[in-house]
Chain A
Amino acid sequence: MRPLVAVPAAALAILVALACGAAFGETAIPLSTVAKTAANHLFGAGFAVDPIDAGIVWNYRLARAVVAACCGVALALSGVVLQALLRNALADPYVLGISAGASTGAVAVAILGVGGGLVSLSAGAFAGALTAFGTVALLARAAGSGASAVILAGIAGSQLFNALTSFIVARSANAEQARGIMFWLLGNLSGARWPDVTLALPVAVAGTLLCLFQTRALDAFTFGAESAASLGVPVRATQAVLIGTTALMTAVMVSLVGSIGFVGLVIPHGARFLVGSRHGRLVPVSAVTGAVFLIACDIASRMIVPKQVVPIGVVTALIGAPAFALILIRARRMT
């Protein structure tokens, strides 16, 4: 597909998904109302809309759908980058413990008050994400750097950081805080409002642009880091920039909505199935499908159980865990 067709198609897909995210829910709101409300806010169109419907659409559902889309983009691209750099089909921020580290960092700031109020939740999550990735990378190196060593190190890292999070919560949080934190850790978009968008959207857009700029370098890692070096890629610098970006994107999203698993696995593999493994296509297609996928999962999380919201992490895990199993089986067949 040429960019002339692909770019409008991608924009349309995201717009439709956002509109659905705003229309579906406990009370269905017609798409026409969604369109009018959006037009009123964006262009001052002045359509007559029921103020309650308009409030639900604009203040709750649209903000939430935009945050969901940004998370989808960030997590899907993190998966693409980690899989390319580590040359491991099972790499993703959740599996490698980066999300767990970000949670620990966020909880440390929120409950322990680390940083004395000067450090934001996102900054704490970023520090936690980088610490977790560093720990896992060192552990994987010590364990022999094989494909399974990386994943096993990720499991160990996830367990460690989840335990630290639970420890902090059990020791220092009151019952209400603990319940809130636990719900948030499973991934929760209920609290997403427009101020969250002002953080999520720039991070998602910047991360996407950076990945698009690095697609050739990502391709060069196809045959390994050494091969990338002999193709003229500054390997260390590229790894540092891309992994830093991944950690930052994951951390910001975790600080906003908790840790949502398996998006970085399901989306890149689905996208590879559609457009192949060259990153010039894989990166944009993963970004768009990631956005649409997470909006869809959010809609599902609101509608599966009537009158209740299932944590979105539960929905993505219900889809992602079987996908993980499938990839595992296919990876075995390839070798």
Chain B
Amino acid sequence: MSLAAENLGRDAGGRAILDGVSLVVTPGERLGIIGPNGSGKSTLLRLLAGIDRPSRGEVTLEGASMRRLTRRAIARRLAFVEQQAETAERLTVRDAVELGRTPHLDALRPFGPGDTAIVNAALARVDMSPLADRLWHTLSGGERQRAHIARALAQEPGVLLLDEPTNHLDIRHQIALLALIRRLPVTAVMALHDLNHASLYCDRVLLLRSGRVAALGPPAEVLTPATIRAVFGVEVAVHIDPEDGARSLLVKGHIPFEETQP
């Protein structure tokens, strides 16, 4: 049991934006969190990352309650790639990735050759070694996202959380990034917007609707036309590729908004 949530909830403005979410992340799996805008994807990720505190329930990391772990202890086991974290500083890709060693260093244990090796390995893992000395503001969106993932890997986490990692990337970089995440030797939990991405690159998906779990399971079981119609309000058809059996969803149209208004 690497990461788990028990009856998790969070209130904002006197309203529950997340409620009754329980899940156990299986070590090594790719878990996708999907749901319409405002369904609580980012909120759930931030609770799982220990950045926000839950109003109800608790998150456990390797069996220990998140409330009892220090930020530093959490950061050694779990890394979080936010949506679009930016900087105006003049720093290189290597500088940014070296930040990932922060939770492992202190006054008595300065940055050493071992850390350099870990940073190099993280850079290589995301194919950013040739760009290590480039300045941050000269990078493209996809390169920045890969650098952020390298920074997260340099933390040597067991669990990697990603908040819509493919946002603002073009389609080729989206697919390349998802393929990269699938190859990483970590447990990954990621919020995703595109249902086909979740279907193709996740072992299981958690479907959120108005802050509650609507379904949790393998993509083929969760992402059915009936569920998608109920949660997202769109009509889809399932297409199974005759060559490799890959399952994808074809959007046929949306339900008129009048019908879903209360």
Given A213-B107, A226-B51, residue A232 in contact with residue B102 (CB < 8 A): yes
Q: Which of B98-123 contact A (CB under 8 A)?
A: 99-100, 102-103, 105-107
Among A217, A219, A276, A334, the residue within 8 A (CB) of B88 is A334
Q: Which of A196-237 contact B (CB under 8 A)?
A: 213, 216-217, 219-220, 222-224, 226-227, 229-235
Whether A335 is near chain B, meaning CB under 8 Å from some CB there, is yes
Contacts of A272 in B (CB 8 A): 90
Q: Is the CB of A277 within 8 A of B90?
A: yes
Given A222-B96, A226-B51, A334-B137, residue A232 in contact with residue B103 (CB < 8 A): yes
With CB as the reference atom, state the residue of chain B lying closest to A237: B71
Tally of contact residues, A, Cβ under 8 A: 26
Among A213, A217, A229, A276, the residue within 8 A (CB) of B51 is A229
Interchain CA distance A232-B99 in the complex, whole Å: 10
Interchain CA distance A223-B99 in the complex, whole Å: 10
Q: Is the CB of B51 within 8 A of A232?
A: no
**A94 nearest CB across to chain B (Å):** 21
Interchain CA distance A216-B49 in the complex, whole Å: 21
Interchain CA distance A34-B86 in the complex, whole Å: 51
Interchain CA distance A96-B103 in the complex, whole Å: 31
Contact mask A224-264 → B, CB, 8 Å, 1/0? 10110111111100000000000000000000000000000
Q: Is the CB of A233 within 8 A of B102?
A: yes
Whether B72 is near chain A, meaning CB under 8 Å from some CB there, is yes
Contact mask A316-335 → B, CB, 8 Å, 1/0? 00000000000000010011
Contacts of A302 in B (CB 8 A): none
Whether A41 is near chain B, meaning CB under 8 Å from some CB there, is no
With CB as the reference atom, state the residue of chain A lying closest to B78: A230
Contacts of B82 in A (CB 8 A): 223-224, 226-227, 230
Interchain CA distance A280-B124 in the complex, whole Å: 25
Q: Is the CB of A232 within 8 A of B71?
A: yes
Contacts of B88 in A (CB 8 A): 87, 89, 331, 334-335
Interchain CA distance A227-B87 in the complex, whole Å: 11
Interchain CA distance A216-B73 in the complex, whole Å: 16
Contacts of B87 in A (CB 8 A): 87, 222-224
Whether A278 is near chain B, meaning CB under 8 Å from some CB there, is yes
Q: Which of B114-141 contact A (CB under 8 A)?
A: 137
Contacts of B137 in A (CB 8 A): 334
**A268 nearest CB across to chain B (Å):** 11
Q: Is the CB of B103 within 8 A of A231?
A: yes
Q: Is the CB of B99 within 8 A of A222?
A: yes
Contacts of B17 in A (CB 8 A): none
Whether B61 is near chain A, meaning CB under 8 Å from some CB there, is no
Contacts of B79 in A (CB 8 A): 230
Q: Is the CB of A227 within 8 A of B85?
A: yes
Interchain CA distance A223-B100 in the complex, whole Å: 12
**A327 nearest CB across to chain B (Å):** 11
Q: Which of B42-66 contact A (CB under 8 A)?
A: 49, 51
Contacts of B89 in A (CB 8 A): 222, 277
Interchain CA distance A219-B89 in the complex, whole Å: 11
Interchain CA distance A335-B86 in the complex, whole Å: 11
Q: Is the CB of A220 within 8 A of B91?
A: no
**A215 nearest CB across to chain B (Å):** 10
Q: Is the CB of B91 within 8 A of A232?
A: no
Q: Is the CB of A230 within 8 A of B49?
A: yes
Among B70, B86, B90, B105, the residue within 8 A (CB) of A216 is B105
Whether B95 is near chain A, meaning CB under 8 Å from some CB there, is yes
Contacts of B80 in A (CB 8 A): 230
Among B70, B73, B102, B106, the residue within 8 A (CB) of A231 is B102
Contact mask A275-295 → B, CB, 8 Å, 1/0? 011100000000000000000
With CB as the reference atom, state the residue of chain B lying closest to A334: B88
Q: Is the CB of B91 within 8 A of A278?
A: yes
Interchain CA distance A227-B75 in the complex, whole Å: 11
Residues of B within 8 A of A (CB): 49, 51, 70-76, 79-80, 82, 85-91, 95-96, 99-100, 102-103, 105-107, 137, 155
Residues of A within 8 A of B (CB): 87, 89, 213, 216-217, 219-220, 222-224, 226-227, 229-235, 272, 276-278, 331, 334-335
13 interchain pairs, CB-CB under 8 A:
A216-B102, A219-B99, A219-B102, A222-B91, A230-B51, A231-B100, A231-B102, A232-B75, A232-B102, A234-B72, A277-B90, A334-B88, A335-B88
Q: Given A233-B72, A277-B90, 13 other A-B contacts at CB below 8 A?
A: A222-B99, A223-B82, A224-B86, A226-B82, A226-B85, A227-B82, A230-B49, A231-B99, A232-B70, A232-B102, A276-B95, A277-B95, A331-B88
